[in-house]
Amino acid sequence: MSKIYVLDACALIAALSDEEGADSVVDVYKEVLLGDAELVMNVVNLLEVYYDDYRHHGKECADKMISNVKALSIKIITETDDALFAEAGRLKANYRISLADSFALAQANVLGGILLTSDHHELDVIEAKEPIKFLWIR
């Protein structure tokens, strides 16, 4: 089975804005295009990207960005099954993280994937205590 990577909002924002760490996301995307990996993102985390773009650039720009992202080889997970629901709830209950971070972490854990993120401040403690795999983009 190929690798599964899970995009956190900050990783997608870095790639779209050509920020530090974008090269790491692009390298993963190249694996996806070669068929060596799958790239997924929970819709809750995509919402973070959307509202960030909306806030900074307006609705039209945010809508266009979402349309462009949906055209990429990223599987957007829109349904929450019982396993994802329970894992996101467990993580949110046990750590001081945002609801969106709990979904990204749970998505990676449930799928046995690797979370692409740069959120060291919030997630370093989780990396030390949980079996979730991380690919730090910066």
Q: What is the mean pLDDT of the chain?
A: 97
Asked if pLDDT for residue 16 goes beyond 70, the answer is yes
| Residue 77 banded pLDDT, cuts 50, 70, 90 | very high
Domain containing residue 126: 3-136
| Helices marked H in 1-81 | 9-17, 22-33, 43-57, 59-70
Give the domain CATH number at 124.
3.40.50.1010
Instruction: State how many domains the chain has.
Output: 1
Tokens at 128, concatenated: 């030390």
The whole-number pLDDT of residue 130 equals 98
Q: What is the mean pLDDT of residues 31-43?
A: 97
pLDDT tens-place string over residues 114-131:
999 999 999 999 999 999
Q: Percent of the chain at pLDDT above 70?
A: 99
The whole-number pLDDT of residue 2 equals 85
- The span from the CA of 129 to the CA of 117, in Å, is 17
In terms of C-beta distances under 8 Å and separation of at least 24 residues, what long-range contacts does 92-100 make, across chains too? 95/125, 95/126, 96/122, 97/122, 97/123, 97/126, 98/122, 99/44, 100/9, 100/44, 100/45, 100/47, 100/48
Q: Percent of the chain at pLDDT above 90?
A: 99
The whole-number pLDDT of residue 1 equals 55
Question: Residue 34, CB half-sphere, CA atoms under 13 Å: how many?
Answer: 10
Q: What is the mean pLDDT of residues 18-23?
A: 97
